[in-house]
């Protein structure tokens, strides 16, 4: 790794930060709507544990949709322990980009309740439904996994949990629509409860950069040597991040950034550069697809400055 990575991150932050003013914080979750538009952080954690950070990298933020990567990892762990789970999962959720907003209902009606992929809200709800079959502690399991991978306790932000629940009409509608097609086995309330819980995990930019590394390390947590996922399954989660992790901007992200990324509506985006590092950037204002605007710029700058093309 370049010795001057700290300088690179400084330059990336300088280039990206001013772009935040062109984005907008989401209006449907109160605390996100009023988030400080000037907050900015970028953290890179190398596989050997060396950490580099600029900005507010130790401020906890709600993980929101980035949690979908970790619940998918847990569902795939369940698939390792029980035959037929992977087959069931990939029958009930697809692996194609949606081309629609992350909370859209339109495709679900046309495609008989089978979500396009696990990174949109509908897909994450099906993943939670599968997970609930195997882990009765599913809502806590994701927080436990995040804590293990971050190397520090991750907690739930009760206010975000409550606000996300208050603005969950659309997610509830998605769950009901899927249930009407027979694509949920638990009640809408049970599935929604797990989903709302995972979205409210409060985690810092630095912790997310640490936690995502296992996907760039053949499924093994580099901090502990523990296998989280089999290499083939880790590769598949990364592939879904690349093709679907930033929703309707996934093509633009592949074009500009080139490595797998996953965004959350709180303005965080995680990325993985295989066998090199985990990265996380955070800036609350979003572009129209729901990804951090300055975060996108920062990851583009990072890829260019470090020549990170993976394909």
Among residues 81, 19, 35, 34, which one has the least CA distance to residue 298?
A: 19
**∠81-85-89 over CA atoms, to 5°?**
140
Residue 199 binds ligand DON (CB under 6 A): yes
Residue with nearest beta carbon to ligand DON: 65
Contact criterion met (CB below 8 Å) for 73 and 29: no
Residue 198 binds ligand DON (CB under 6 A): no
Of 25, 71, 117, 164, which lies in the binding site for ligand DON, with binding defined by CB under 6 A? 164
Of 77, 205, 217, 263, which lies in the binding site for ligand DON, with binding defined by CB under 6 A? 263
Task: Between 171 and 207, name the residue whose CB sits nearer to ligand DON.
Answer: 171
Min separation Cβ 268 and ligand DON, Å: 9
Of 139, 245, 264, 284, which lies in the binding site for ligand DON, with binding defined by CB under 6 A? 264
Residue 121 binds ligand DON (CB under 6 A): yes
Among residues 187, 124, 126, 196, which one has the least CA distance to residue 167?
A: 196
Among residues 161, 150, 153, which one has the least CA distance to residue 197?
A: 161
Cross-strand partners of 49? none
Min separation Cβ 149 and ligand DON, Å: 19
Residue 171 binds ligand DON (CB under 6 A): yes
Instruction: List binders of ligand DON among 76-105 (CB under 6 A).
Output: 102-103
Residue 283 binds ligand DON (CB under 6 A): no
Residue 204 binds ligand DON (CB under 6 A): no
Helix segments in the chain, DSSP class H: 5-16, 30-33, 67-81, 85-92, 106-110, 121-134, 138-150, 158-166, 169-180, 188-199, 205-211, 231-244, 250-256, 293-306
Among residues 165, 58, 171, 169, which one has the least CA distance to residue 125?
A: 171
Min separation Cβ 235 and ligand DON, Å: 23
Min separation Cβ 172 and ligand DON, Å: 10
Choose the binding region for ligand DON from 85-93, 201-209, 232-240, 258-266 (rule: CB under 6 A).
258-266
Determine phi and psi for 104, rounding to 5 degrees: -75, 145
Binding site for ligand DON (CB under 6 A): 64-65, 102-103, 121, 164, 171, 199, 263-265, 290
């Amino acid at each position: 790794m370049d010795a001057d990575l700290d300088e690179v991150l400084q330059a990336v932050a300088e280039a990206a930060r001013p772009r935040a003013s062109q984005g907008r914080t989401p209006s449907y979750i109160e605390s996100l709507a009023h988030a400080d538009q000037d907050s900015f952080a970028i953290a890179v954690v190398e596989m050997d544990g060396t950490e580099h950070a600029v900005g507010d990298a130790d401020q906890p933020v709600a993980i929101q949709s980035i949690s979908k990567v970790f619940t998918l990892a847990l569902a795939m762990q369940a698939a390792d322990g029980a035959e037929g789970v992977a087959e069931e999962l990939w029958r009930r959720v697809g692996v194609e980009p949606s081309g629609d907003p992350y909370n859209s209902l339109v495709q679900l009606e046309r495609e008989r309740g089978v979500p396009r992929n696990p990174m949109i809200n509908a897909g994450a709800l099906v993943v939670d439904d599968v997970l609930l079959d195997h882990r009765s502690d599913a809502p806590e399991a994701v927080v436990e996994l995040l804590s293990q991978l971050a190397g520090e306790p991750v907690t739930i932000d009760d206010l975000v949990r409550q606000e996300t629940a208050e603005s969950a009409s659309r997610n509830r509608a998605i769950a009901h629509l899927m249930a009407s097609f027979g694509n949920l086995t638990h009640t809408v309330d049970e599935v929604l409860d797990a989903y709302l819980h995972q979205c409210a995990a409060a985690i810092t930019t630095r912790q997310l950069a640490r936690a995502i590394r296992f996907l760039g390390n053949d499924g093994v947590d580099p901090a502990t040597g523990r296998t989280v996922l089999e290499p083939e399954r880790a590769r598949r989660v990364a592939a879904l991040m690349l093709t679907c992790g930033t929703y309707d901007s996934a093509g633009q992200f592949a074009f500009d950034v080139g490595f797998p990324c996953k965004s959350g509506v709180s303005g965080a985006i995680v990325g993985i550069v295989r066998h090199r590092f985990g990265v996380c950037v955070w800036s609350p204002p979003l572009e129209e697809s729901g990804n951090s605007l300055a975060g996108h710029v920062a990851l583009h700058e990072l890829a260019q400055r470090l020549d990170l093309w993976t394909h």
